[in-house]
Amino acid sequence: MASFTRLAALAALLASSASIVGAVAASGSGTTTRYWDCCKPSCAWTQPGLTSTVKTCDINDKPLANGVTAQSGCQNGGTSFMCSDQSPWAINDKLAYGFAAVTASNPTCCQCYKLTFTSDGPIKGKTMIVQATNTGNDVSGTQFDLAMPGGGFGQFDGCSKEWKATPDIWGAQYGGSNTNQCSKFPAALQKGCGFRWDWMKGQSNPNVNYETVACPAEIVAKSGCSVTGYSTPQLQPVTIKPTTTTAPKTTTTPKANAPTTTTTPKKASDSYSAGGVNASVVDEGILIFFLKLQ
């Protein structure tokens, strides 16, 4: 009976270690939406695995020294807002950098993704590298909600408080304006707003093929977000195993509170998993556990 119990315990440990690994697929096809709610991003809160969180700014768009602990500007009395420099920008006509909200069910704060646009139109074949700086419970595992001034507030609005935003200029709650109103935006947001009309040629919510990639130093310099075990500012790729995802949705969710389900990569000898478990560490733990059972 004792021998059987030991074997059963070892089997259970092996099963649990296998289930820990896995989050968003390392590559696949997906969709994009857009948002800019001015709220404190989810990845700006202290979380296991983050060596530094996403930078936030005060109501005057100045970096906050206490950005990690400050409440979101989308809450009553909150003082922490999204910084204007976390807008998208073009490297050239074929390549751009930016930031996005990803699914909150299996978040990958600070992971970077290479998006290759596949929808027919002027954007087809262009590439955008985005860093996950925010999460949403209604964002699917294959959806990238691109952070873009004028992209629509979504469910929550900190822009009216920070920038005195009005619907006649900022447009609809979801999707923003159907016409280019960027010249009427605050000066700090005009270039990021214009990205949709210039680099993206006004194309709305194009589909993409995506894959995880190393974060360019330029992106990390703007967000300030890095992960345990990665070199900074040049992050290293993460190995993420596929999981089943649900159909994409088009709305964003509150970015005010730290996500309770966030898991980020932890340091390993050569590679990392999105579940934060290194295979060599699991194997060593299993061996020690088994020896103790003998």
DSSP for 189-252 reads: HHHHHHTTTTTSTT--S--EEEEEEPPPHHHHHHH--EETTS-SSS----B------PPP----
Burial of residue 169, with CB atoms counted within 10 A of its CB: 0-12 exposed, 13-18 middle, 19 or more buried: middle
Q: Which one is catalytic: 37, 58, 93, 168? A: 37
SS3 letters for 141-186?
Answer: CCEEEEECCCCCCCCCCCHHHHHCCCHHHHCECCCECCCCCHHHCC
DSSP three-state, residue 19: helix
Compute the distance between CA of residue 226 and CA of residue 268 in angstroms, rounded to an integer.
Answer: 15
Instruction: Evaluate whether 72 touches 78 at the Cβ level (below 8 Å).
Output: yes
Q: Which one is catalytic: 61, 120, 145, 270? A: 145
Residue corresponding to tokens 């096809």: 29
283 as an active site residue: the answer is no
Q: Which of 147, 153, 142 is nearest to 175 (CA)?
A: 153
Compute the distance between CA of residue 84 and CA of residue 36 in angstroms, rounded to an integer.
Answer: 10
Could you give phi then psi for residue 217, rounded to 5 degrees?
A: -60, -35
Compute the distance between CA of residue 57 and CA of residue 39 in angstroms, rounded to an integer.
Answer: 10
198 as an active site residue: the answer is no
Report residue 15 CA to chain centroid gap: 29
Q: Tell me which residues are annotated as active site.
A: 37, 145
